[in-house]
Structure 1
């Protein structure tokens, strides 16, 4: 009976996650700290399920905004850049760093209403160096 229940729960979990369009974001230590949920209008969630930021198209750029309305940086080719153009996080396939195995994600919390966003600043020259700011700190800086 336990096996049946486990199999049933596993298949339900796979059914719900099969359609999900989520991209994991890794920090400079190779730890998955956040993810972009494309099914939730390109919302960025921390690994525990807390919504902290979102992507918004601005011309040819994808800008990152916090739910407090502040501009945080850019998302380009799977890499998150801060205002100075330094790398803060990246998808697994966009970094040469060794990444660790992903932990189980927390349940997503309710997403706040998106604010009116300011004009995106001119993008600086993007660098290949990593910022001293940790990914979690960068994303939490725009949390409402």
Structure 2
């Protein structure tokens, strides 16, 4: 089975989670997250989840279908505890919610740990490249150390 395509950039999304606690689908390209209704119920505080769902499901058509169940998506404004408003999309059929890049963080601050997502700090434009470069330098320093150890013998 192929993974669902991101509704923003059409990239294949990675799946995190399980049947019991629900799933999130994470786009490694635009950093959007599609969270299943079960995952949201397991990981988001219930008063916050009610607030989010009221804003979303009282909204208007979003103009696309759910990447996982092909249901109609709607969008609506949701207030955060920081006093800002974010437009969140939701599926009328399965109850999944779509959060654009980092929009889920005000509602689930511990999202990085829960979903095992890479660090996409706004100061870090290329998190994957950063990891690759760190691995490369680690390999180079390991080789250099071995050569030094060999020459000392």
What's the TM-score, normalizing by structure 1?
A: 0.28
Flag the structure with larger Rg: 2
What's the TM-score, normalizing by structure 2?
A: 0.27
More strand by share: 1
More helix by share: 2
